[in-house]
Structure 1
């Protein structure tokens, strides 16, 4: 066998065109419908948020883990991995990237408090923590090894490029530069948190996510489904919508196009539509699924109700009462009518090598060289 046939080169691509994300996702979702795939994403992102908070990770670590999870499934099928194992692995990798390191064992135990709440001690000095005497150590060790095995695959998807950035400091910086009040900036910051539950960070850099989050928060705080028609009462929201929703010199100042900001806002609106349109009792809205392999426990009997799971509908940005699936859809239509040149669908977009980038991931029978510079 020749050297050429046993080696390949993977060039790091920090971002993919939205059409490429759609194409790669379609290949990995298998028999899942688009809506079921989206619900699976939200289930994983909610778990990452909850476990990250229990671990005491800063928001930058949790957000990076959510983006790494979405990126992972551009290259690896949903059917081949359990979402809990991938989610815990991306949280472990993100903790390394942001120098907020915790051991895989500690992250897994933090997830036990959510996946198996009956293991949590009630009251006393150890209240709120997992009772280690009730944990199956063999299962814990098995999950730890799975996290370490999947870690290599996660690193491959990012070509071992360890430089990461998040939009949160930029939301504050841009808000101050535009002259926004603290409450307005805080609303934009919360929307930026929710933005990492969408594929937008796979396609747009942090400064575009930051501006798109400020724009989306202003739209959602405007109190109308047609904010560009002068029906906004809040003067500050009106100013943000007018600025970031129209072409101008600000695009050069912030090195971003109004189209990119608009697409980030659409991704965020799609997230809220998905969450509002999912029934509260849908299994995908549970942080965990009742498991027959709970530590030292048998599968729950048919007549026994499993522990209540926390819903994933708690977004960082609290939607005003105005917003329903219908009103959010009307807002999206209003924005599309203003800018009809939408991002092309995957079958209209010329392949730029994203499919080739997915080849060879996770294989042990060939040499893969990862490079970070662009093609010569």
Structure 2
């Protein structure tokens, strides 16, 4: 027997019993398109919506990135893994307040995910053990210790939330490779006189690229912008000819002066406010940092550039209603225990029933939505219909034009619409008009 054509199969599936409604088309579901870059306005609105304390969040942000850097150096991981982990850490922290997850748990989990992304695979026990040995140098442990069983399970569970937040978009900026290439152009290797200056310049610029990930600049700017901002700021602090640096950049730098100035000011804000928590800050005088910051602000005023690119004052007043989609840890990061977020108690939140799919091509998402709309959207047609309605004839008016008629003596007329009854007692009958006449008169 020949098989039935494939076109007839959906018709048989669409036939339903009287109890079950027919299924129309494919399920709509939810589609998410991750974005690689964020603006300063978006970051502020999201942090404001979750009620973040700026001073406390700044401290936890610096401590988390510093913990990632320390564990990375202990495990001898490449700098690309550090860059990826720091970006994932920032994206997680701007979505959840500090009272839901410990910054230590998030930092170590971000490093665990980054090791997988950058193909420098490390087990969760290795990362947790390295963090424990850094925190407690006198109590040395090995990854096979039983104390890492519960934290390891918590780290693996938290990995899922980080993947959902980044939208499975693993693209991250790596300015170090471009930075080294541009330093070689500024200071040619064959020149022995500038060899010492090149080594010092590269050391400060490379460490500045590590400090850069303690700010939100990697979430806002491209790789080219980050590298150019580091070079210009290093040249300004070390009193190197800045025009020489700009000539190496060239016109086709795929960036703008406003974005470069914004990144430089983000770094200077970090150095002026948290000088001791950075690598490059303690090497220079604070007054030197302040002078460079004032100079950049003057240049931005002369060129009429805003402090943050794409910042709208009218839109910044409107805060979106953003709520965390996943539960958080009940432990506050204020308690600096070895693994404060390793408890399994979670806050129950409203979970969505639909499945979220992360798509990177916006055109494919639009095509899919148009296809689903053919089955799910209700279409209505408006049209006018002329209907003849009979007009009712008017009621005849009375001959006395609505005046009151009185009944003759000795009787009552059927059309007597005269005065109402008198109040003859405390509880008289409402329609008894002649009771007083048949009795002893009016009361």
| TM-score, normalising length: structure 1 | 0.72
Q: Tell me how far 1:191 sits from its aligned partner.
A: 1.1
8 Å CA contact 1:221–1:237 kept in 2: the answer is: no
8 Å CA contact 2:110–2:162 kept in 1: the answer is: yes
1:204 counterpart residue number: 221
Q: Tell me how far 1:364 sits from its aligned partner.
A: 5.6
How far apart, in 2, do the equivalents of 1:11 and 1:208 lie?
Answer: 24
Q: Is structure 2 residue 358 aligned with structure 1 residue 370? A: yes
Change (3 A) 1:359 1:322: closer
Q: Tell me how far 1:314 sits from its aligned partner.
A: 5.5
How far apart, in 1, do the equivalents of 2:60 and 2:46 lie?
Answer: 16
2:137 counterpart residue number: 117
SS at match of 1:9: strand
SS at match of 1:80: coil
How far apart, in 2, do the equivalents of 1:132 and 1:16 lie?
Answer: 37
- From 52, 58, 73, the counterpart of 2:78: 58
SS at match of 2:286: coil
Larger CA Rg, structure 1 vs 2: 2
How far apart, in 1, do the equivalents of 2:314 and 2:109 lie?
Answer: 32
> Aligned ranges for residues 1-376 of structure 1 at < 5 Å?
7-28=29-50, 30=51, 32=53, 34-120=54-140, 130=141, 137=146, 139-179=147-187, 182-183=198-199, 184-222=201-239, 234=240, 236-237=241-242, 239-240=244-245, 250=250, 252-276=251-275, 313=276, 315-317=278-280, 319-324=282-287, 327-340=288-301, 341-342=305-306, 343=308, 348=313, 350=315, 360=325, 363=351, 365-374=353-362
Q: Provide Cα deviations, 1:303-345, integer angstroms capped at 9, x if missing partner.
A: xxxxxxxxxx453335444225xx5344323211211322169
Q: Tell me how far 1:36 sits from its aligned partner.
A: 2.0
8 Å CA contact 2:81–2:115 kept in 1: the answer is: yes
Aligned residues: 304
8 Å CA contact 1:51–1:107 kept in 2: the answer is: yes
CA RMSD of aligned residues (A): 3.2
SS at match of 1:254: coil
8 Å CA contact 2:61–2:90 kept in 1: the answer is: yes
8 Å CA contact 1:97–1:164 kept in 2: the answer is: no
Specify every segment of 5 or more residues in structure 2 that has no aligned partner in the other structure, as ranges. 1-22, 189-193, 328-350, 367-443
How far apart, in 1, do the equivalents of 2:233 and 2:295 lie?
Answer: 13
8 Å CA contact 1:19–1:346 kept in 2: the answer is: yes
8 Å CA contact 2:125–2:143 kept in 1: the answer is: no
8 Å CA contact 2:68–2:85 kept in 1: the answer is: yes
How far apart, in 2, do the equivalents of 1:344 and 1:256 lie?
Answer: 12
Q: Which has the higher helix share?
A: 1
Higher relative contact order (CA closer than 8 Å, sequence separation 6+): 1
Q: Tell me how far 1:100 sits from its aligned partner.
A: 0.5
8 Å CA contact 1:62–1:91 kept in 2: the answer is: yes
Change (3 A) 1:113 1:172: same
SS at match of 1:119: coil
8 Å CA contact 1:15–1:202 kept in 2: the answer is: yes
Q: Tell me how far 1:358 sits from its aligned partner.
A: 7.2
Q: Provide Cα deviations, 1:321-374, integer angstroms capped at 9, x if missing partner.
A: 4225xx5344323211211322169661647x9958877467464321211124
8 Å CA contact 2:46–2:320 kept in 1: the answer is: yes
Q: Tell me how far 1:19 sits from its aligned partner.
A: 1.7
Specify every segment of 5 or more residues in structure 1 that has no aligned partner in the other structure, as ranges. 121-129, 223-233, 277-312
How far apart, in 2, do the equivalents of 1:4 and 1:270 lie?
Answer: 52
Change (3 A) 1:188 1:55: same
How far apart, in 2, do the equivalents of 1:7 and 1:56 lie?
Answer: 43
| TM-score, normalising length: structure 2 | 0.61
